[in-house]
Structure 1
Amino acid sequence: MYQTTLITFNELTVSSLYQLLKLRTDIFVVEQDCPYPELDNRDQDALHGLAYEGEKLIGCLRILPRKSSGAVSIGRVAVQVDYRSHGIARRLLNEAIAYLQEQGEVLIDLQAQAHLKEFYGSFGFEEKSEIYLEDGIPHLDMQMQLSEVPKRLQE
């Protein structure tokens, strides 16, 4: 079975950090053929959601602190190819949303790849922009008011 956790950057072990950076680079740079600076100097301030099978990192996301808009941001949601369609991203997102609610946050921003609009919409995220290109990949801005999250997603 899969284990998930939310931890700060300073709680990452060297092995976990390496696996995290490799997973994100493998997906966002190599698989998506998108040369961009994956290391953006924002991980140090983020809370990291990690999914493991044993000692192997198979999925991740990060939560960035509240911006001037009053919203926290979830991003860098990734799952290794062999583990997709196993509910790992859904589990990580549900845990992140529940955590943010417990912390009293009320607004979450997300830059979604356009083909994942329905997936994020199933959590309660709503479109807030037209589709635009970011690093050559169609994206759109989405946002969720936490007070409107259906109870069934909190379980």
Structure 2
Amino acid sequence: MYQTKWMGFNELDNTSLYQLLKLRTDIFVVEQNCPYPELDNRDQDALHGLAYDGERLIGCLRILPRKSSGAVAIGRVAVQTDYRSNGVARKLLNEAITHIEKQGESLIDLQAQAHLKRFYGSFGFKETSDVYLEDGIPHLDMQMNLREDSKRLQE
């Protein structure tokens, strides 16, 4: 089984930061063959959810503070290839949503890769845009309103 840790940017030690940036680059840039600026100056304001199997980082996501739209955002959800379909992303998302709820927030935005629409929909996220290309990959905007009934599945 794996464990999760939640850290602000200043709490990340050198090893954790390196593992986080390497995992995201390996998936979003290399695996998806999508050269884009992974370092976007938003990590410093984010809360980072990190899933570990022992010392190995196997998954991550980040929670970004409330935007002008009034919603917080979840982004950069990534899981090592050999851990996909093992509930890692589901656990991280459930924990992120719980954390956001405890902070008194009610709206959560995310930009989903279009092929993951059903996965995010299983938590209660609803489409708020048509499909569009972001860095050559089909995406769509989705939002969850925590004050409405969510479909979030518990582990």
Once the two structures are TM-superposed, the CA of residue 153 in structure 1 deviates from its matched residue by 3.3
Contact 1:123-1:149 within 8 A present in 2 as well: no
1:1-155 alignment, distance < 5 Å: 1-150=1-150, 153=153
Once the two structures are TM-superposed, the CA of residue 148 in structure 1 deviates from its matched residue by 2.3
Is there any run of 5+ residues in structure 1 with no aligned partner, and where? Answer: none
Is there any run of 5+ residues in structure 2 with no aligned partner, and where? Answer: none
- Aligned CA RMSD, in angstroms, stands at 1.2
Contact 1:9-1:43 within 8 A present in 2 as well: yes
Contact 1:64-1:72 within 8 A present in 2 as well: yes
CA distance in 1, matches of 2:3, 2:119: 22
CA distance in 1, matches of 2:93, 2:149: 12
Equivalent AA in structure 2 for residue 101 of structure 1: E
Equivalent AA in structure 2 for residue 126 of structure 1: K
Structure 1: which 4+ aligned runs deviate by more than 3 Å?
149-155
Once the two structures are TM-superposed, the CA of residue 154 in structure 1 deviates from its matched residue by 5.5
Q: How many residues align?
A: 155
Instruction: Compare the two structures and name the one with the higher helix fraction.
Output: 1
TM norm structure 2: 0.97
Give SS of 1:100's match.
helix
CA distance in 1, matches of 2:154, 2:104: 14
TM norm structure 1: 0.97
Once the two structures are TM-superposed, the CA of residue 151 in structure 1 deviates from its matched residue by 7.7
Q: 1:151 to 1:122 in 2, by over 3 A?
A: closer
CA distance in 2, matches of 1:114, 1:123: 15
CA distance in 2, matches of 1:126, 1:31: 27
